[in-house]
Amino acid sequence: MTSADARHAGAPRDDAPLHTLIMQHAVNGRLRMRAVQGIAQECGCHIRHVECVALLSGILPERYARNTKQFSLEDQRALLLSRVLLVGLGGLGGHVLDMLVRLGVGHITAADGDVFEPSNLNRQLLSSMSRVGTSKAQAARDHARNTNPATELTVVDHYVDALSLPPLMQQCHLVIDALGGLQSRLMLQKAAQNAGVPLVTAAVGGLTGYVATVLPDQTGPAELLGSGGTGEPVEDTLGTPAPVVACAAALQCTEAAKILTGKPPSRGVLFFDLNDRTFQTVML
């Protein structure tokens, strides 16, 4: 049984009345967003559960219509039943959160103790002028709620460490490293490996970056790059324009979707340079 298959096995419950309502409201095999909200309210259940039962009944919630050419109904249900730990809600993390929520990932725990600064406005999707000085975690909560109420987002409004990470990884299917710099990446990778959970990592500087999936028994980029030393962070020396951040986050979410739907992740580390449009995979 794959991890995606295991997610389909839940405690038995009587969803016959819910199924009946879904079939009554479905039009041409789809369920409109307002119908999903109305059924959830009438049955007193979470929107995510309505969508899961609809998908199990062969009915596609309208909001995921543009996912269907790449994800089957079974894949979409697996995403809704998935649990992801996202560490970092800055440049990478804001874009990753947005994409995971739009994909329909059902449970996300997102951790970041930072607040927005003016220098974040060039690239961080969750930032805005009105949010300077406010919590990134709170902005993430607001964004997820307004984008897809089927996603249950738990925010951790403080920085994580080797002691606080293990409990956060319990029952999660994937960890996503959206940290800035290199200082804490090895700690996060080791925590994921100790928990037996795959990790999708990325880093950017200038117009270059890398993305990799690190399985629990594999070597990851953090082991080779270390903590980055005591010099000036690469983000400060090379900058981090919005396109390179969004590109890395998109590649991370593509890997995440593969893993969460039971497909094999890509091997090796993908290095990319947007300046000369080169992409190269290096095996570790």
Question: Torsion angle of alpha carbons 241, 247, 253, 255, nearest 10°?
Answer: -130
- CA dist 175 and 165 (Å) reads 10
Q: Give the position of tokens 């990592």.
A: 201
Q: Which amino acid is at 84?
A: V
Radius of gyration of the CA atoms of the chain, in A: 19
Q: What is the pLDDT of residues 20-31, one digit of tens each?
A: 999 999 999 999
Assign 74 to helix, strand or coil: helix
Assign 82 to helix, strand or coil: coil
Closest CA to 220 of 203, 240, 241, 242: 203
DSSP annotation string for 103-164: HT-SEEEEE---BB-GGGTTT-TT--GGGBTSBHHHHHHHHHHHH-TTSEEEEE-S---TTT
Contact call for residues 200 and 212 (beta carbons, < 8 A): yes
- The yes-or-no verdict on residue 82 having pLDDT over 80 is yes
Q: What separation, in Å, do the N-terminal and C-terminal C-alpha atoms of the chain show?
A: 28
Chain mean pLDDT for the chain: 93
Residue 9: pLDDT band with limits 50, 70, 90: very low
Rounded to the nearest 5°, which phi and psi values hold at 28? 55, 40
Residue 62: pLDDT band with limits 50, 70, 90: very high
Assign 83 to helix, strand or coil: strand
Region 234-249 average pLDDT: 92
Closest CA to 124 of 235, 234, 256, 198: 235
Q: Residue 52 has what pLDDT?
A: 97
Pairing of strands 83-87, 174-177: parallel
Pairing of strands 208-214, 269-273: antiparallel
Rounded to the nearest 5°, which phi and psi values hold at 152? -95, 110
Residue 11: pLDDT band with limits 50, 70, 90: very low
Instruction: Catalogue the E-assigned strands of 159-217.
Output: 174-177, 199-205, 208-214
CATH (residue range 82-282): 3.40.50.720
- CA dist 267 and 215 (Å) reads 10
- CA dist 51 and 55 (Å) reads 6
- The token pair that represents 80 in the structure block: 């809704």
Residue 92: pLDDT band with limits 50, 70, 90: very high
Q: Residue 236 has what pLDDT?
A: 77
Alpha-carbon distance values, 148 to 18, 91, 103, 113 (Å): 21, 20, 9, 23
